[in-house]
Structure 1
Amino acid sequence: MPRWTPLLVGVTALWAASTAQAGSFDLNLGNNAIELNLAAPIAEGIAIGAGVLHSEYREDATMLHGQIMGVERNRRMDIGVGARWTQFNTDYGNGGGLGLGGYGYVYLPNAPAVSVGGYGFFTPSVATSGKLDDSFLAGARMRYDFTPTVDGYVGYRRMTADFDDQRSSRTLDNSVHVGVNLRF
């Protein structure tokens, strides 16, 4: 199977699963990674989402995720907290797990189109399957709202995971990236 097949399958599945309600389409690119995320509200203050990250940081790694989050967005902040299932297909091992985490951004008072913040998810070994023991994802971004429905950003992301039969935690992605988020 070509190494981009999981990414293309994931993108197609995410696009087919997206709803006609207001949601978002987020794409970012780094030197060694590409990530696509889709999200849509299912009720006031609750959103579901799915995404795929393919990284060639050291070895090939593709991570698919689905999540449900409590969300709040206004002129001062953009926050979300919830649960995420992540499925790993890597050269180090395969498996999945349920993690908790979220994101938070604040808009700068003197530059209301600029927001800064970050995100993180932790999956403990008690909530994993397959060869995955645990995983951790963390990132930071600075975003600029070009229009009410389009923002661009620069960010940094680091994803690590422990797999059975590996001596230590493996860094699956460690990258600076640029991206665009479209809200519809």
Structure 2
Amino acid sequence: MNTLGQFAKAALAAGILFAATGAHAAGSLDLNLGADAVQFEAAGELTQGVALGGGVTQSEYREDASIYHAQLLGVQRTRERDVGIGGRWTQFDTDYGNGGGLGLGGYGYVYLPQMPDVSLGGYAFYTPGVVTSNDLEDGYEVGLRARYAFTPNVDGYVGLRQTRADFDNRHGSRTLDRGAQVGVRLSF
């Protein structure tokens, strides 16, 4: 499937997500671009402190890889920090192999007291082999970001990301995406 078709599926999934979470729930849309990849994510609070989200990454880092995820996280945002911890299903559709699995992880950012519009942090999700399907043996995604709040509802950021998967076939362990990205997140 081409990149445009994958983003159409992601936009449809985002629409379904926001319809399911209700019109008054807090939510966000996130888009980031790198030299070899584009990522779109959407999230919405089911209830206070519980967020449902999902996204798609299209990477041409070495070969073609489409990586989809859906996650359910416990979240908290204060003036000092923004954190979320929970489970994530990640589905890999790559030239090296296909498969998915349930993993754990989260994100955490701290706001700088001297510059309250700036936050630093990152995220990590790991999928162990015990809960995977098809060719996937295990996988992970990690990232670091520096964010700046241009307005109360718009953050811009720069970051680094790496996604890696180990396939139970002749291809073995492969880095599917690695590099810098720039992005924007709209909160509502």
| TM-score interval, normalised by the smaller of the two chains | over 0.9
Contact kept? 2:141, 2:161, Cα under 8 Å = yes
Contact kept? 1:7, 1:62, Cα under 8 Å = no
Q: How does 1:19-58 map to 2 (within 5 A)?
A: 19=19, 20=23, 21-58=25-62
Q: What are structure 1's unaligned runs of at least 5 residues?
A: none
Report the TM-score when normalising by structure 2: 0.94
Q: What are structure 2's unaligned runs of at least 5 residues?
A: none
The 2-side partners of 1:3 and 1:42 are apart by 29
The 1-side partners of 2:128 and 2:72 are apart by 18
Matched, 1:151 2:159: no
Deviations 1:44-83 (A, max 9, x none): 1110001111100000000111100000001100000000
Deviations 1:29-58 (A, max 9, x none): 111101011000011111000111110000
Residue 9 of structure 1 aligns with an amino acid whose one-letter code is K
Q: How does 1:34-113 map to 2 (within 5 A)?
A: 34-113=38-117
The 2-side partners of 1:11 and 1:25 are apart by 10
- How many residues are matched? 184
Deviation at 1:167, TM superposition (A): 4.9
Partner of 1:6: 6
Query: 3-state SS of the aligned residue for 2:72?
Result: strand
The 1-side partners of 2:112 and 2:160 are apart by 19
Identity %: 55
Select the residue among 101, 114, 129 that pairs with 1:125: 129
**More displaced 10-residue stretch of structure 1: 126-135 or 164-173:** 164-173
CA RMSD of aligned residues (A): 1.2
The 1-side partners of 2:28 and 2:3 are apart by 27
Query: 3-state SS of the aligned residue for 1:170?
Result: strand
Runs (4 or more) in structure 1 with deviation over 4 Å come to none
**More displaced 10-residue stretch of structure 1: 162-171 or 123-132:** 162-171
Matched, 1:172 2:157: no
Report the TM-score when normalising by structure 1: 0.96
Deviations 1:75-110 (A, max 9, x none): 100000000001110000110000000000000111
The 2-side partners of 1:131 and 1:2 are apart by 22
Contact kept? 2:37, 2:59, Cα under 8 Å = yes
The 2-side partners of 1:96 and 1:10 are apart by 17
